[in-house]
Structure 1
Amino acid sequence: MALFAGAEHFEAIGHRLRELREHAGLEGKDLAVRLGWSASKVSRLELARQGISPADIDAWITTTGGSSGDRAALLGLLDQAREEQHTLRRRARHGQAAVQAGYNTLIERAAVIRFLETAVIPGPLQTPEYARAILTAAQRQLRLSVEDIEGAVTTRMERQRYLYSNRRFNLLIAEPVLRWGLVPPDVMRGQVDRLHTVIGLKNVRLGILPFGTPLEIVPLHSFVMYDDLVCVETFGREHRYTGPEVETYTNVLNHLWGSAATGLDARRLLVKVADELAPPAM
């Protein structure tokens, strides 16, 4: 019985690695010497007791004389294993605060963070009130057994300190994000005010895709890029991509930014939204 998400795929990877080693006529210690690894690492990889990277697979294939087909098969198994590990409900089984801490780490390790948001305000820009409403909705939607909303809000708010660091943020949101009825109007007004404050930050680029603006690219879904790592969240899981996929998402952003309202135009749009959210005069 698999003890963790993706275990069966990792076990299949380990089995095939051992076959390749044995076919090459190498003992584990001999392969370790050729790879410059410890013998224990070779054993742990074959027994699926240690995570494996694409670079590890490349090195193993090269050293054991494996084929391009072997490489493709192993990388495919690795992709499947990682996919299973990113099921949203599984990731949040210990609470949402841990998930938020993971995103904080991704930002901490990145130099450039890029968002396209068609659903919610990007996490680094959210007010506590807005974040609380969104995380409460996630708690309900994913039917999580651990309820740690306040801890998750606090952890998400910690992310905002990176806005004042040497990291660069490119944050592109579609106008519907400002108009979805996900939070009460007074919470959304506070959130819109918060967006005003980041427009002047030298390392933050905020853009809004207004209603009615001609677009060359269809903004099918939200995604975040941490340097060359792409994260796409669906209803049930998060997908992560590297390699050739990165260019696809980079091109999407480049095209959509050409249609975005920025600077003074973005401020005017935010003022308009805030005015429409204001309670009627008595």
Structure 2
Amino acid sequence: MTSPTERRLALGDQLRLLRDTAGISGKHLAEQLGWPASKISRIERARQAVTDTDLVAMSAALGLGADEAEQLRNELRAIRIEEARWSQHLRVGHRALQEQVGQEQRDAQHIAVFALTMVPGLVQTAEYARHVFLSLAEVHDTPRDTEAAVGARMERQQLLYAEGKTIELLLTTFAFTNPIAPASVMRAQIDRLIALQGLPTLRLGIIPPGVALPAAVAHTFRIADDTVSVELVNTEVSTRDPGDLALYTNYLAKLWDLAAEGDEARALLMRLARDLT
């Protein structure tokens, strides 16, 4: 099986051949695009990740047809999907991924998360997070760096207290009616959610059971400023496409319309805690 690295090298070779066929030097192409002189060389040698925007600009400058340009973009999408597979992300365990997501969220002013089956990582207790990482390591057959991953997740939660951030976390009652951890852990997790409700940075909502959803909810996703990341069983897909961002933002707004917040959310959490007993 060809690795993502090998596919990036092949894509770089293809771009170099297209440039040579067009009779344009790397230096001249960079000047046309207003890029640093070395960027073309770095892209063609897979020393710098080419972006979708880069491919659109290069295709136009090289005079490529619409079909050929779209083939290049499709290959890049396929490479990015392969790179985003959990088998790639988690090959050394969960800690590195927690640190990566933490950096993404530290750089963002607005963070929005819809969690379908679990409590969002930003508000998990350490013990709940421990059960999450153990179960994921079992499912994906990856190294069990559980304590390091829990530590990285707890460190990431400092974002809840960062001035100037807006954090919106929306979850469903599925996390409690079909829990991943024992009842004692879940009750402590509910206490944690109730305690965090008053944070000025945090908007916390819970979709009650039995409400009619605007459409079938298929997966967990998060939005960090202009980037949408969708979590699937085998991979995570990220996009900055304005249409995708608008779609997920609008859908999230419709879900928030159904959510319990404030005192209503607190009452719902307390009922869930009693049910766990």
Q: Say if 2:158 is the partner of 1:161.
A: yes
Distance apart, 1:99 and its partner CA: 0.9
- 56-65 or 179-188, larger mean C-alpha shift: 56-65
Whole-angstrom distance in 2 between the partners of 1:235 and 1:31: 41
Residue number in structure 2 paired with 1:142: 140
Residue number in structure 1 paired with 2:237: 239
Tell me how large the CA RMSD over aligned residues is: 1.7
Size of the aligned set, in residue pairs, is 275
- Post-superposition CA distance 1:31-87 (Å, at most 9, x none): 233334444332232233321112222221232222333332221111111111011
In the alignment, is the contact (CA less than 8 A) between 1:129 and 1:187 conserved in 2? yes
Q: Runs (4+) of structure 1 moved beyond 4 Å?
A: none
Q: Specify the SS of the correspondent of 1:183.
A: coil
Residue number in structure 1 paired with 2:257: 258
- 198-207 or 47-56, larger mean C-alpha shift: 47-56
Identity of aligned pairs, percent? 36
Residue number in structure 1 paired with 2:211: 213
Whole-angstrom distance in 2 between the partners of 1:196 and 1:250: 26
Distance apart, 1:214 and its partner CA: 2.5
Whole-angstrom distance in 1 between the partners of 2:258 and 2:63: 50
Please list every run of 5 or more consecutive structure 1 residues that lacks an aligned counterpart in the other structure. none
- 125-134 or 229-238, larger mean C-alpha shift: 229-238
In the alignment, is the contact (CA less than 8 A) between 1:14 and 1:46 conserved in 2? yes
Q: Specify the SS of the correspondent of 1:231.
A: strand
Whole-angstrom distance in 2 between the partners of 1:168 and 1:175: 23
Residue number in structure 2 paired with 1:248: 247
Q: Specify the SS of the correspondent of 1:230.
A: strand
Residue number in structure 2 paired with 1:121: 119
Residue number in structure 2 paired with 1:26: 24
- Post-superposition CA distance 1:181-237 (Å, at most 9, x none): 310111000000011122111221111111112222222221111122221222221
In the alignment, is the contact (CA less than 8 A) between 1:175 and 1:208 conserved in 2? yes
Residue number in structure 2 paired with 1:267: 266
In the alignment, is the contact (CA less than 8 A) between 1:9 and 1:80 conserved in 2? no
Whole-angstrom distance in 1 between the partners of 2:61 and 2:166: 40
In the alignment, is the contact (CA less than 8 A) between 1:217 and 1:255 conserved in 2? no
Q: Say if 2:92 is the partner of 1:102.
A: no
| 1:153 partner amino acid | V
| 2:159 partner amino acid | Y
Q: Specify the SS of the correspondent of 1:232.
A: strand
Q: Specify the SS of the correspondent of 1:169.
A: strand
Distance apart, 1:128 and its partner CA: 0.3
| 1:195 partner amino acid | L
TM-score, length-normalised on structure 2? Answer: 0.93
TM-score, length-normalised on structure 1? Answer: 0.91
Residue number in structure 1 paired with 2:8: 10
Whole-angstrom distance in 2 between the partners of 1:53 and 1:234: 22
Whole-angstrom distance in 1 between the partners of 2:155 and 2:260: 28
